[in-house]
Structure 1
Amino acid sequence: MSGNFSRSQSTRKPGVTATSGGVVAAQHALAAEAGAQVLAAGGDAVDAAVAVSFAIGVLEPWMSGPMGGGAMMLWRADEKKPYALHYGMRSSTSLDVSHYPLSGAGKASDLFPWEAVVEDRNVTGASSIAVPGTVAGAAEAHRRFGKLPWRDLLQPAIAHAKAGMHVDWYAALIIASSARELAKDKDAAALFLEDGQWPKIFGWTALSDIRLDQSGHAATLERLAEAGAEDFYTGDIGAALIKDVTDKGGFLTAEDMASYRAEWQDPLHIPYNGANIWAVPTLTAGPTLAHAISHWQSAYTPSTVPDGTSFAAMAEAMRAAYEDRLTNMGDHESAKAPGCTTHFSIVDKDGNMVAMTQTLLSIFGSRTLSPSTGLMMNNGIMWFDPEQGKPNSLAPGKRCLMNVCPVIGEKGERRFALGASGGRKIMPAVGQISSFLLDYGMSMQDAIEAPRIDVSGGDTIVADERLSDDVTDALSARWSLATAKRMPFPYAFACPAGVLRDGSTNSGTTETFSPWGDGIAEVRD
């Protein structure tokens, strides 16, 4: 790169381009490959999304899975129309607020600086589990737009679960980072740890083939494939989940599961410098993105490359947008929290698109495993403020506020699907990458690899150390500024994945330093 992206050495991840087929970009290449194979078999982008959703829940079990929630944006090429689908988690109608008394011990230990609760009951363990939505979301999208049979779409995930997730250096690093919490649940410890305390990495070498025993997860997926998504909520799988959660001290009822519905919503339209961006409108970071973009697009005129003026305008707009979010929406996630979500983007040969984000919330969710199903459980209750009388206070039967921000964008013949993982870092990343694509005509690879800033709360702006002096000087003249490297773990910035359709050519890629992420093109015989 040139211009303001010139500092330090360059590390690149080759993107993928397809002139006659679709592309899948996901945080695990094997999950992306599963989606690409579905496209090659004649599947729609939505079919591929279902396959990727379940496969990545096996391959990256600390980020997402059937017990999670999320949201997606879709583009239907034949209608030239976007769709928004919300499938976030909710608190149980049986939840007892008195079970979460404040401890008086200061702030909580995880993502949110709430007042601490006795025994961290809203953060870890079964009492932190919320009603899941991911299966309902995948099933509803498939019901409306899918072409291939549901059971076929789960086969890649089943195969990966039967083989067991490979524990390489990156997996061992992630497991080690949460080993102390995983050890508190005997079932999670049995899956991820040796002797209840060490990651399953003893004797590891570059040639090792250490794998998790995910046979329980595989059996659940096989049942889900044959019985259909409704079994997860009203059948044998649902009954097993309810029993496991309640046996471990959580709140989950048959009524909670049977009444859960994914919700189609009118997409939030964000006009942008003669282009269009669409986002999910409620209980996501979509409204915060709209707030930020509406401010910064009027504050500068794009030049040939992003410069100090543009970055300063974006920083000011994102600070104002987050101040409004924290005040009025009740979301107070720590900007220093690690990424704990996954995102993938898909475009098929016809131009249909999906941007899908799913999460367990914290890394490894509640750090609790359902022994009957082999599934890691979410900790969605942590999204709520345990203090009463706040905008986002804990209550029964209440939807969770998420930071997910999948988007569809277009300008002329160029259209993209984009999103990221990374908590509150997601919105700033999605906003800046959208600007790079729309204002400067970058390729998806260049836009994702371009250095960014993170403005997601607190007094300090974090800037990629590769940014030029022009940019860092403009930022440091107004705000406290810190610089950071792009690294595999922990992420100082979000971890994006996007696909781009320019005319009839599709391309896609993921965060450069995502060790497992990649874009995979459809290959037809």
Structure 2
Amino acid sequence: MQNWTIQKPSVRSSRGIVSAQNRHAAEAGAAILEQGGNAVDAAVVTTLVLSVVEPWLSGIGGGGFMLRADGVTGEVNALDFGVIAPLDLNPDDYPIVGENDGDWFSWPEVQDNRNISGPHSICTPGTIAGLAEALERHGTLNWADALAPAIEWAERGLELDWFACFAIANEEAGLSRCPATANLFLPGGRVPRAGDSAAPRHAPMPQKARLLRRLAQAGARDFYEGEIAAKIASDLSGSGSALSAKDLAEYRPDWVESLAQPHAGWDIRAMPGLSGGPGFLDALNRLQALRPAGRAAPSGASAAAFASAIRDAYRERLGRAGHAGHPDADCTSHVSVVDASGTMVSLTNTLLSRFGSRVVGENTGFLFNNGVMWFDPRPGQPNSIAPGVKPLANMCPLILLRDGRPALAIGAAGGRQIFPALLQLVSFVTDYGMTLEEAFHYPRIDASSPTILVDSRDGMDVASTIARDWPVRIIDNTLYPVNFAIPSAVMCTAPGEFSGQAHPYQPWAYAAAAREDAG
């Protein structure tokens, strides 16, 4: 028997840091910082590159949220570019089958799982509109330059290492149902093999490269009103998808007022509305009343307080607002950025499920989201399937300020596990004084399901204390399935000094520091 200790240290820089779920994307963003770009520039470039180098998690066919906090004034801006149900979507197209009436843990199954996979599951994507809007208002790069690194990666192609092949293999059945998807990810009709010396090391994405070059030339609105919009409509016409040219033409991202809440001398900012932000702040309020006082480190009692706060907040959130209760795990990417001025960005983008709808457009070459999955299939519920509306999302980007200046940008991937993970990480930093490196390596629980998951590295008092009230399962923090979310963060440790941390147990997760000696 072998025991392994996994450690991924924080990185430090005064020039800025990008923390993301893929090293290539994080380094592309850090290069922008080295060239004098700001946090929004770096976040947009990183997100666009992520759409190529980890296409199963996020992409231009999805949607998301962004928070930006100005390093000089402390002003916080919040941008909602989430997916929207098509205007012609008909709830009757999603008949419920089986006897499960559903509850806040699990919803009933829809015929053929059409709300989860395939053309019927697609909502209007918002990522391109959101990234372009963020860049126009707060960036310094022009749109074409922001797209250039992603175009280069699309021409080179997806790196077919063991992790990419593993991700594709896990979804082989779903990917094989759409010919364009199979052509992209299953060359020759089979899963790529990383150990095959005769096999190519990269899978080029020529259609996506052409689409990105068209966007660079024609502008972001071409995705919604021009040549690309016409190709999207053509790709989906006759497939069963309700998405139309009108949905694309009418899509606009929204600047909204961030939620603000004080906690332990910090000012916490979160996305409002149909995001994980309200649930996170609700759980934080509950935690303050439950967490044992005077503790220098988390304990079994504090873990039980986390579990209680999370479950009560989820019961309130899902009972009043509804949410995706299907066991198909959400797959998301989070990017945290700080630039030399101290401006921070926390941006989460998603296709929802792994590989989204599993539908790739024949004329466009990118994956579409499966946003209908986020709606409750039962009629008469707060979040029931309906045309032209947004579903309630799990994404929960956060920015924390101290003394009026941004101090921490953090977020995570992992569906319903996101805000439970963030609640603990934020508490580890603000209540227990941990560094980012200490917080990210400290074992967590997950209370977003009927059985509370306890990291096997935790003390036995954690499982035994929680087990007094709920069923408990002791489990490893594994690569797959993801049991405790995948966070990334950047932090101001002193004036002009920053640290960045990536998830220790995700092999490609990486915090890239802008080099101190860069031009």
Give TM-score scaled by structure 2 length. 0.95
1:24 aligned onto 2:18? yes
- Tell me if structure 1 keeps the 8 A contact 2:23–2:510: yes
Give 1:328's aligned amino acid.
R
- Structure 2 counterpart SS, 1:35: helix
**Alignment match of 2:137 (pick from 135, 138, 144):** 144
Deviations 1:345-364 (A, max 9, x none): 00001001111101111110
Q: Which residue of 2 aligns with 1:219?
A: 210
Out of 170, 180, 205, the position equivalent to 2:173 is 180
How far 1:440 sits from its partner (Å)? 1.9
1:13 aligns with 2:8: yes
In the other structure, the counterpart of 2:146 is 153
Match of 2:32 in 1: 38
Aligned: 1:88 with 2:79? no
Cα pair distance change 1:302/1:154, threshold 3 Å: farther
Tell whether 2:228 aligns with 1:237.
yes
Q: Deviation of residue 332 (structure 1)?
A: 4.0
Distance 1:414 1:97 in 2: 43
| Residue type at the aligned position of 1:271 | P
Select which of 296, 313, 321 maps to 1:321: 313
Q: CA deviation at 1:339?
A: 4.6
Alignment of 1:101 onto 2:95: yes
CA shift in 2, pair 1:146/1:244, >3 Å: same
Give the unaligned 5+ runs of structure 2: none
> What CA distance in whole angstroms lies between the structure 2 residues aligned with 1:352 and 1:203?
43
Match of 1:441 among 411, 433, 441: 433
Note if contact 1:411-1:438 (Cα within 8 Å) is conserved in structure 2: no
Q: Tell me the residue number matched to 1:228.
A: 219
Distance in 2 of aligned mates of 1:325 and 1:449: 29
SS in 2 for 1:43: coil
1:394 is the counterpart of 2:388: no
Aligned partners of 1:70, 1:263: CA distance in 2, in Å? 11
Equivalent residue number for residue 75 of structure 1: 69
Aligned to 2:269: 278
Distance of aligned partners of 1:31 and 1:398 in 2 relative to their CA distance in 1, 3 Å threshold: same
Whether contact under 8 Å (1:107, 1:116) holds in the other structure is no
CA contact (8 A) 1:308 1:475 kept: yes
Quote the offset at 1:107 in angstroms.
Answer: 8.6
**Aligned 8 A contact 2:165 2:194 in 1:** no
SS of residue in 1 equivalent to 2:57:
coil
Amino acid of the structure 2 residue aligned with 1:287:
P
* Residue of structure 2 equivalent to 1:119: 112
C-alpha distance in 2, partners of 1:284/1:298? 24
Q: How does 1:86-485 map to 2 (within 5 A)?
A: 86-104=80-98, 113-196=106-189, 198-201=190-193, 204=196, 209-299=200-290, 300-334=292-326, 337-412=328-403, 415-458=407-450, 460-485=451-476
| % identical equivalent positions | 40
Write the distance in 1 (CA, Å) between the matches of 2:340 and 2:213.
29
Give the AA of the match of 2:118: G
**Cα–Cα, structure 1 residues 107 and 390, in superposed 2: closer, same or farther, change >3 Å?**
closer
Matched, 1:514 2:491: no
Distance 1:500 1:339 in 2: 26
Deviation at 1:338, TM superposition (A): 3.4
| Cα root mean square deviation, aligned | 1.9
Change (3 A) 1:254 1:435: same
Q: Is the 8 A contact 1:464 1:486 kept in 2?
A: yes
Q: Does structure 1 retain, via aligned residues, the 8 Å contact 2:412–2:487?
A: yes
Q: Is the 2:343–2:406 Cα contact (8 Å) retained in structure 1?
A: no
Contact 1:91–1:396 (CA under 8 A) maintained in structure 2: yes
Letter of the structure 2 residue corresponding to residue 443 of structure 1: T
Distance 1:478 1:103 in 2: 33
**Is contact 1:200–1:210 with CA below 8 Å preserved after alignment?**
no
The code of the aligned residue for 2:277 comes to: G
TM superposition shift of 1:517: 0.9
Give the secondary structure class of the aligned counterpart of 1:221.
helix
Distance across 1 between alignment mates of 2:194 and 2:66: 39
The whole-number CA distance in structure 2 between the counterparts of 1:282 and 1:484 is: 33
Deviation of 1:96 after TM superposition, in Å, equals 2.2
Per-residue CA deviations over 1:85-115 (Å, capped at 9, x if unaligned) read 111101111112222223347699xx98432
1:355-400, CA deviations, whole angstroms, 9 ceiling, x for partnerless residues? 1101111110111101111111111011112221111111111112
Question: Which residue matches 1:4?
Answer: none
Counterpart Cα distance in 1 of 2:175 and 2:50: 20
Q: TM-score, normalised by structure 1?
A: 0.94
Q: Which amino acid aligns with 1:422?
A: G
Q: Is the 8 A contact 1:100 1:118 kept in 2?
A: yes
CA apart distance, 1:414 = 7.3
Q: Secondary structure of the residue that 1:376 maps to in structure 2?
A: coil
- Runs of 4+ off more than 4 Å: 105-108
The CA distance in 2 between the partners of 1:293 and 1:99, in whole Å, is 39
